[in-house]
Amino acid sequence: MKTFTPSEITHELRRLIGTRRVVAIIDEKVDRLHGTLFPFEKIVIEATEERKTLATAEEIVHQLLHLHADRDTLLLGIGGGITTDLCGFVAAIYKRGVPFGFIPTTLLAMVDAAIGGKNGVNVLNFKNMIGTIRQPEFVLTCPNLLRTLPPKEFRNGVAEMLKTFIISGQNFGESGSFFAENELDTIFCTEAKMAQLCHFITESRAVKERIVKEDEQEQGLRRLLNLGHTFAHALEHCAKISHGEAVSIGIVCAAKNGHCKDIDLIVNTLKQCNLPTEIPADIDKKMLLEAISQDKKIAEGRCNLIVIHAIGDVRIIPTAPGAILC
C-alpha cells in the first residue's frame, strides 16, 4: 500500500475515476479545511455518532436523487469513519448499489474504519446495528491530511493501531514507543518521523487487509479484529466516550479475560500513549453487561469474546455474558 501526498492524491484520483461522474460525501469539517483538494459535486454532512443513522442515510439518498445521480455515479467518502461508513452504506443501497471509494482523513479511518468493507449505521444508540459488507473500489491514504486532526482524534487511531499490532504480534513495542514519545505536531516536524508514521499506517492497514482477504464475511479469523470491541461498543452505549478510548479500555478487559502474560506491557503502553485503561468509575457495571449482551457477536447465548493470551496470541473464546470479567 502506498501513501500519497496532497498533490499525488489529486493525480491518483483522476486516474482512478477516469471519465466517471463523482459525488463526494464529505464531513463538513474536512470540507472547510481541505475542500479545495476535492473539486467534485458534494453532499456535505455533519459527521457525528448521533447522526450516523438511517435517517441521515435517507437524507443523503434524497440529495443523490435531487442531483440525478445514476448507477454509474461513483460516491467518494471523504472524512473519518462515520463519513466512510455512511457513504459505503448508502452506496450499497442506492439504486441497489453504486461504486464507491474512500479518502479517510482520520488515523482511525486510515487503519481501520475505511478498510474491510463493513459499513453501516447506528440504531437506538447501538453501534452499527444495520449494515452491509461491500468493498470500496479504492482507499487512498494521505497522511498529510492528519495535520489538522485534533490530538484526541489522533489517539483514537493509535488505539486501533495498537489493537491490530497486538493481533499480529508485530510492531506493538515500536509503535507504542513512537506514539508515546511523539505528539501529532512533533511528527509533522521531521521527514523521518513522517516516514515512521506512514510505515505504521501501512503495516497496520496491511494486517487488516490480509485478514479481511482471508475471511471477508467474518466466519472465523476476521473476528479477531473485534478485539476489545465487545467492551468498547458497550462502553460507548453507556457513556460519552470516544471510540478509541473505549477500544483502549476494551483491550485491557480482553487481556484480563485472557489472563494475558503481557498485560503490564499492554497497560503501560496504552497509558504512555495517553489512552485510558480503566472503566470509568461512574459506569454502572450491570448496565454495561446488559449492553454487552446486545452485541452482534452473541450467538446461542454465548459471546464470541476475543481474549489476549499474549501479544501475538489472541483467541476467540465463546463465553456466557455472565462469565465475562470487566
Span near ligand GLY by CB under 6 A; candidates 89-97, 112-120, 187-195, 199-207: 112-120
Q: Helix (H, G, I), strand (E, B), or coil: what is residue 291?
A: helix
In terms of CB distance, is 23 or 113 closer to ligand GLY?
A: 113
Shortest distance (Å) from residue 205 CB to ligand GLY: 11
**Of 111 and 291, which CB lies nearer to ligand GLY in the complex structure?**
111
Stretch that binds ligand GLY, among 70-78, 96-104, 115-123, 297-305 (CB under 6 A): 115-123
- Chosen residue from 34, 42, 118, 243 binding ligand GLY by CB under 6 A: 118
6: cell is: 496532497
Nearest distance from C-beta of residue 250 to ligand GLY, angstroms? 15
Strand ranges for the chain from DSSP E: 22-27, 41-45, 74-79, 100-104, 118-123, 126-133, 298-299, 302-310, 313-319
By CB under 6 A, residue 35 contacts ligand GLY: no
Chosen residue from 77, 79, 116, 258 binding ligand GLY by CB under 6 A? 116
Taking CB positions, which residue lies at the least distance from ligand GLY?
A: 116
Between 112 and 153, whose beta carbon lies closer to ligand GLY? 112
Is the separation of the CB atoms in 30 and 81 below 8 Å? no
Residue type, 52: K
Strands 74-79 and 41-45: unpaired
Q: Rounded to an integer, what is the distance from CA 143 to the centroid of its chain?
A: 15
Residue (119 or 257) nearer to ligand GLY, CB: 119
Cα end-to-end distance, the chain, whole Å: 37
Give dist(CA 233, CA 153) in Å, integer. 17
Binds ligand GLY by CB under 6 A, chosen from 113, 207, 252, 260: 113
Q: Which is nearer to ligand GLY, 116 or 250 (CB)?
A: 116
Q: CB-wise, 80 or 269, nearer to ligand GLY?
A: 80
Distance CA 6, CA 320 (A): 49
- The CA distance from 215 to 203, in Å, is 19
C-alpha cell belonging to residue 46: 455533519
117 binds ligand GLY (CB under 6 A): yes
Binding interface with ligand GLY (CB under 6 A) = 113, 116-119
